[in-house]
Amino acid sequence: MSHGTSPFGRYKVGYRVSLPLHCQEQEHIFGINSVALSSQGNTLFSAGRDATVKQWKIRWEKEGDDWISPVTTYSQHTNWVNDVVVIGKLEDRVMSCSSDCTIKIWKIEQSQEDSSHSSVLSCSESLNHYHADYVKCLSYSSGAERAFSAGLDSNIYLWDVSTGAKVIQHVTFPKDKKKSIYCIDSSEDGNTMICGSADGILSVWDVRQPTQQKKSKLRGHVGNIRRCVLSSDGIRSLSAGADGSVKLWDLRQQRCIRTYDDHSESVWTLALPDKNLSGTFYSSGRDMSILRTDIASGESVVIAKASSPIQSLLFHRDHLLVASANAGQIKRISLDSEEREEKMQFSSRIIEGHLLNDKMHVLTKNEGGVMDLYNIIDCKWMKRFEEGDLNEQLQALNTEIYVPNWCSIEVDLTIVLDQSYCFSAECYASDIDPSLSTTKKVNLGQLMLSKLFGTKRDPTNDAKDLTNDAKDLLVDDSLADDSESQNPEDYEESTKMDEPSTVRGNNIQITLMDAKHGSCVFQWERPVRSTTPNEDACVDLSDSVVDPIIPPSHLPHWIHEAVSNKLPSVKSMTIPFSLISSNEKAIQQLSSKESKLTSPRLFRITKIIAHIITKLELQPITVKGTVVEPQDYVQIICQNKVVDKEMTMGTVKAFVWRSSEELVLKYGIDPRFEK
Mean pLDDT of the chain: 79
Q: What is the pLDDT of residues 446-475, one digit of tens each?
A: 888 887 776 543 322 322 322 233 333 333
Query: Which strands sit side by side in the sheet containing 350-355, from one edge to the other?
Result: 350-355, 361-366, 371-375, 380-385
pLDDT-based confidence at residue 402 (cuts at 50, 70, 90): very high
Q: Between 528 and 501, where is the model more confident?
A: 528
Across 248-277, average pLDDT: 93
pLDDT band for position 124 (cuts 50, 70, 90)? confident
Q: Taking the domain 274-346, which CATH number applies?
A: 2.40.10
Which of the four pLDDT bands, split at 50, 70 and 90, describes residue 263? very high
Return the closest-CA partner of residue 227 out of 274, 188, 159, 281: 281
Q: What is the DSSP string of 512-537?
A: EEETTT--EEEEEEE------TTS--
Residue 166 has pLDDT above 70, yes or no: yes
Residue of 525, 411, 522 whose CA lies nearest to 80: 411
Cα 495 to chain centroid, rounded: 29
What CA–CA distance (Å, rounded) separates 230 from 241?
15
- Report, as an integer, the average pLDDT of 262-270: 95
Mention every residue, 6+ apart, whose C-beta is less than 8 A from residue 274.
Answer: none
pLDDT grade for 225, boundaries at 50, 70 and 90: very high
Residues 6+ apart with CB under 8 A from 29: 19, 23, 48, 49, 50, 52, 328, 349, 350, 412, 413
CA–CA separation, 416 and 407 (whole Å): 5
Is-contact 239 245, C-beta < 8 A? no
Quote the pLDDT of residue 525. 56
Rounded Cα–Cα distance for residues 137 and 224 (Å): 14
pLDDT digits (tens, 9 = 90+) for 574-619: 899 999 999 888 899 998 888 899 999 999 999 999 999 999 999 9
**313 versus 438: which is more confidently predicted?**
313
The single-letter code of the amino acid at 487 is N
> How would you list the strands of the sheet with 32-37, edge to edge?
32-37, 43-48, 53-58, 68-74
Give me the DSSP letters along 417-469: EETTTTT--EEEHHHH-TTS-SSEEEEHHHHHHHHHH--PPPTT--SPPP-SG
Residue 411: pLDDT over 80: no
Q: How do strand 300-306 and strand 342-344 relate by DSSP bridges? A: parallel
CB atoms within 10 A of CB 77: 27
Q: What is the mean pLDDT of residues 561-577?
A: 79
pLDDT in tens, 522-541: 666 554 433 322 222 222 22
Q: Please give the DSSP secondary-structure letter assigned to residue 552.
A: G
Top-confidence residue, 666 or 129: 666
Phi, psi of 220 (to 5 degrees): 170, -35
Give the pLDDT of residue 540.
29
Q: Which residue has the higher pLDDT, 24 or 472?
A: 24
Q: pLDDT (tens digit, 9 = 90+) per residue, 320-355?
A: 999 998 888 899 998 875 656 777 777 666 778 899
* Residue 212 CA: distances (Å) to CA of 202, 207, 230, 288: 15, 10, 20, 38
State how far Cα 387 lies from the chain centre. Answer: 24
Q: State the DSSP code for 88.
A: S
pLDDT surpasses 80 at 43? yes
In this predicted structure, which of 268-282, 569-583, 605-619, 629-643 has the lowest mean pLDDT?
Answer: 569-583
pLDDT score recorded for residue 337 = 53
- Rounded-to-integer distance, Cα 401 and Cα 118, Å: 48
Asked if residue 238 lies in contact with residue 248, where contact means CB atoms within 8 angstroms, the answer is yes
- Who's near 485: CB < 8 A, 6+ residues apart? 479, 607, 610
CB-based contacts of 342: which residues, under 8 Å, 6+ apart? 303, 304, 305, 333
Which H/E stretch holds residue 616? helix 605-616
Q: For residue 178, what pLDDT band results from cuts at 50, 70 and 90?
A: low
> What type of residue sits at position 299?
E
Topology of domain 574-673, CATH: Ubiquitin-like (UB roll) (3.10.20)
Lowest mean pLDDT segment, chosen from 101-105, 115-119, 665-669: 115-119
- Position 546 scores a pLDDT of 32
pLDDT higher at 133 or 175: 133
Report which residue type is found at 443.
N
Classify the phi-psi angles of 192: left when phi > 0, otherwise alpha if psi is within -120 to 50, otherwise beta.
beta
Q: Binning pLDDT at 50, 70 and 90, where does residue 314 land?
A: very high
Q: pLDDT grade, residue 494 (50/70/90)?
A: very low
Give pLDDT, residue 566: 76
Give the pLDDT of residue 414. 79
d(C-alpha 605, C-alpha 597), whole Å? 13
Q: Spell out the domain ranges in the chain.
A: 35-172, 274-346, 351-563, 574-673
Q: Which of 524 and 383 is assigned the larger pLDDT? A: 383
pLDDT at residue 4 in the model = 37
Rg of the chain over Cα atoms, rounded to whole angstroms, equals 31
Check residue 519 and give its pLDDT: 56
The CATH architecture one would assign to domain 35-172 is: 7 Propeller (2.130)
Strands 663-669 and 634-638: antiparallel
Q: Is the pLDDT of residue 485 over 70?
A: no
Q: Which residues contact 191 (CB under 8 A, 6 or more apart)?
A: 144, 206, 207, 208, 234
CA-to-CA distance for 456 and 475, rounded, in angstroms? 20
pLDDT at 32: 92
Q: What is the mean pLDDT of residues 47-65?
A: 88
Residue 269 one-letter amino acid: T
pLDDT score at 544 = 31
Strand order in the sheet with 319-324: 310-316, 319-324, 330-334
Asked if the model's pLDDT at residue 565 lies above 60, the reply is yes
